[in-house]
Structure 1
Amino acid sequence: MTKRRKVGNLLALAVLSALAQRPMHPYEIATALRSWGKDQDMGLKWGSFYTVVRNMDKHGLIAAVESVREGRRPERTVYRITEAGREELSDWARELVSTPVPERSHFRAGLSVLAVLHPDEATRLLRQRLDLLERDVTTAREALGQHARQIPRLFLVESEYDLAIQEAEAAWIRSLLAEFTSGTYPGLDAWRAFHETGEIPAELAELAERTDFTE
């Protein structure tokens, strides 16, 4: 079970990871996170950035060190990570690495309503997705290879994970398409008949009436 955290927004985790390197003011933190690609890793929403920073300060995860001014720019507060913040960073990392949580994708949502499409159209669209995925996999594999020559593998592990997920998805789609094209997918004839005649086969009609499904 995941913990209820004082500041649960993943922006807080990102900020802690930045301040674990050195004290910074918020603009520096945001710049560093973008340059490290943390905004992509964590799907950060920047609109709440300053609110998150203030809440972290309020809860003692970070602390103000000094205020600095550069030229005519507004005064900026430099923050450091506190001991409580370091403990939170480590504990949060342990939780994220060790505990699976449901992560619903747009693709899963589309698959859940695949029946509204004719099987031939579903097949065509899945082939289209597979083509795009294979292109992305090739690009990601090349990029990972280039980065591996410059960056320690420890700091590329999330990219390895992304590539593995893409490859697994592509393999699953190939398998599904093979069943569609060979006609061995269970219920394919009933699915096709519904779209071509407008009549719901008895087995599908009975299924549609059920409301006792559980995940």
Structure 2
Amino acid sequence: MRRKVSNPLALAVLAHLVLGPQHPYELGKQLKETGKDRNIKFNRGSLYMVVEQLRKAGFVAEQETVKDTQRPERTIYALTDEGRAELYDWMRELVRDPVHEYPQFGVALSLISVLDPAEAVELLRARSAALAKDIENTRAMVGQATGDGVEWIFLVEEEYRISLLEAELRLVEKLTGELAKTEYQDKWHEIFGRER
């Protein structure tokens, strides 16, 4: 389904506005505090742009403008009925329907045969070390958050991240072993060696 606003940041804004009307600055602060910025890339400018796109689409509306002496005028946005319907429809679609994503590493793997196998092995070993470190750091973060009383449902995206990292690490280790085999290296040099 084609969405009027399809940026993942828009979905996060809609989800946070379910809790009540807010200013975009407060939304950004909450996204960072809850770690959502690990999965959704944004900056202040992109956040304001997405809020404006949601307003034009009719998913959020200006509720009030607040002026105090300390800060410039701030516009508070609220979720509309259309925005609420869009949020739940979009969430249902994302949770229910698998889609093929195009991660950069997938591109690299589809073309890895152009690299000298010895170099590819070295690069993959470095990737393995980075993945293992990322898994360790993410597990520590989840452990800390759990210890601080954060409910598991608010950490589920990190569990998903760990699962993906572990699966990638297994694949990288297997591929490293295959590329290190003399049989493959000899065949590669036979095919590609003269091209270099």
Q: TM-score, normalised by structure 2?
A: 0.89
Match of 2:129 in 1: 131
What is the one-letter code of the residue matched to 1:193?
E
The answer to whether the 8 A contact 1:12-1:52 is kept is yes
The Cα of 1:153 is off from its aligned counterpart by: 0.5
The Cα of 1:199 is off from its aligned counterpart by: 6.1
Moved more, 115-124 or 36-45: 36-45
* 1:191 equivalent in alignment to 2:174: no
* 1:98 equivalent in alignment to 2:101: no
The Cα of 1:65 is off from its aligned counterpart by: 1.7
The answer to whether the 8 A contact 1:63-1:80 is kept is yes
Match of 1:84 in 2: 82
* 1:158 equivalent in alignment to 2:146: no
1:31 to 19, 25, 29: 29
Match of 2:113 in 1: 115
Greater RCO (Cα-Cα under 8 Å, separation 6 or more) = 2
The answer to whether the 8 A contact 1:10-1:44 is kept is no
Matches within 5 A, 1:31-70: 31-44=29-42, 46-70=44-68
Identity level (%): 42
SS at match of 1:136: helix
The Cα of 1:45 is off from its aligned counterpart by: 5.5
SS at match of 1:42: coil
The Cα of 1:134 is off from its aligned counterpart by: 1.1
1:18-65 deviation line (CA, Å, top 9, x unaligned): 111121112212222222222322233543332322232233211222
Q: Structure 1: which 5+ runs fail to align?
A: 201-215
The root-mean-square deviation of aligned C-alpha atoms, in Å, is 2.1
What is the one-letter code of the residue matched to 1:38?
K
What is the one-letter code of the residue matched to 2:16?
A
The answer to whether the 8 A contact 1:11-1:45 is kept is no
Distance 1:124 1:189, change over 3 A: same
Distance 1:33 1:192, change over 3 A: same
Larger radius of gyration: 1
SS at match of 1:66: strand
1:156-202 deviation line (CA, Å, top 9, x unaligned): 01000000000001111111222233446xx5432132454x169xx
- CA separation in 2, counterparts of 1:75 and 1:50? 14
What is the one-letter code of the residue matched to 1:51?
M
- CA separation in 2, counterparts of 1:28 and 1:195? 55
Match of 1:176 in 2: 175
Q: Structure 2: which 5+ runs fail to align?
A: none
1:118-176 deviation line (CA, Å, top 9, x unaligned): 11111111111111111211121222122122210001010000000000011111112
The Cα of 1:106 is off from its aligned counterpart by: 1.9
